[in-house]
A and B are shown apart, each in its own frame.
Chain A
């Protein structure tokens, strides 16, 4: 069964304290891995797509990386406005165009 697991469930950081969020997956035939940011009461906002092991994408303080078994979302020198829930999702060959989501990591950054 295709599965996506995110850790930790919650992460508290001080402003400027860099860290990483993990997304591990066991799927048959990965077609793409997606990272989203979700603010309370809002829909997820697309951040990155990763396709193959070794690939990296960056946007401001965020950098996403991909291996054959997991993806990391690195947050460098976070600010309070980075506080949100970060969702990881995979697109697999057998799922049509639908995504399989992890449960998310809720990040809180205090000043």
Chain B
């Protein structure tokens, strides 16, 4: 089945440690996104990529890094510079618009990151 796979489902980070969250899609979508979701807050955009080897910062990019070496993969690294990393992280992808349509983003099932 086509879809977006995020792994791991749960992740624990020690102080001073970088961790990488995986996001893979087999939908052949061009654009991919990373969001952070905190209790009582809406989804906030961390980074997005509209094409391979290109990505842009979102509203809360500080303390995070990404790469887009392959169309199907968009890993997110949470660095030690991110002082409050505990959150639910969601990856999404989107197909290219056709005609007047505005294609929706489709989401994976998230990774919950906690600090040890």
**Do A98 and B109 have beta carbons less than 8 Å apart?**
no
A23-54 CB mask vs B (1 if < 8 Å, else 0) is 00000000110101000011111100101000
Known: A34-B104, A97-B94, A101-B35. 4 other contacts (CB 8 A): A41-B112, A44-B43, A44-B90, A45-B107
**Do A31 and B102 have beta carbons less than 8 Å apart?**
yes
Residues of B near A43 (CB, < 8 A) are: 4, 6, 90, 92, 107-110
Q: How far is the CB of B22 from chain A (nearest CB, A)?
A: 14
* Partner among B41, B105, B110 whose Cβ is within 8 Å of the Cβ of A99: B105
A-B contact count (CB 8 A): 58
9 smallest CB-CB distances across A and B, nearest first, come from A43-B107, A32-B102, A101-B42, A101-B43, A103-B42, A46-B104, A43-B109, A44-B107, A98-B45
**Do B104 and A49 have beta carbons less than 8 Å apart?**
yes
Write 9 A-B pairs (CB below 8 A) sorted by A numbering: A32-B102, A41-B112, A49-B101, A96-B50, A96-B56, A97-B50, A101-B44, A103-B40, A104-B42
* Partner among A34, A45, A87, A98 whose Cβ is within 8 Å of the Cβ of B33: A98
Give residues in A with beta carbon < 8 Å to B.
4, 31-32, 34, 36, 41-46, 49, 51, 87, 89, 91, 96-99, 101-104
Complex: A32 Cα to B6 Cα, angstroms: 27
Chain B interface size, as a band, is: 20 to 34
Tell me, yes or no, whether B31 is within 8 Å of chain A by CB.
yes
Residues of A near B6 (CB, < 8 A) are: 43
Complex: A98 Cα to B90 Cα, angstroms: 13
**Do B48 and A87 have beta carbons less than 8 Å apart?**
no
Q: How far is the CB of A71 from chain B (nearest CB, A)?
A: 14
Complex: A36 Cα to B104 Cα, angstroms: 10
Q: How far is the CB of B46 from chain A (nearest CB, A)?
A: 10
- Nearest-CB residue, chain B, relative to A103: B42
Tell me, yes or no, whether B13 is within 8 Å of chain A by CB.
no
Complex: A46 Cα to B92 Cα, angstroms: 11
Q: Which B31-57 residues have a C-beta within 8 angstroms of A?
A: 31, 33, 35, 40-45, 48, 50, 56
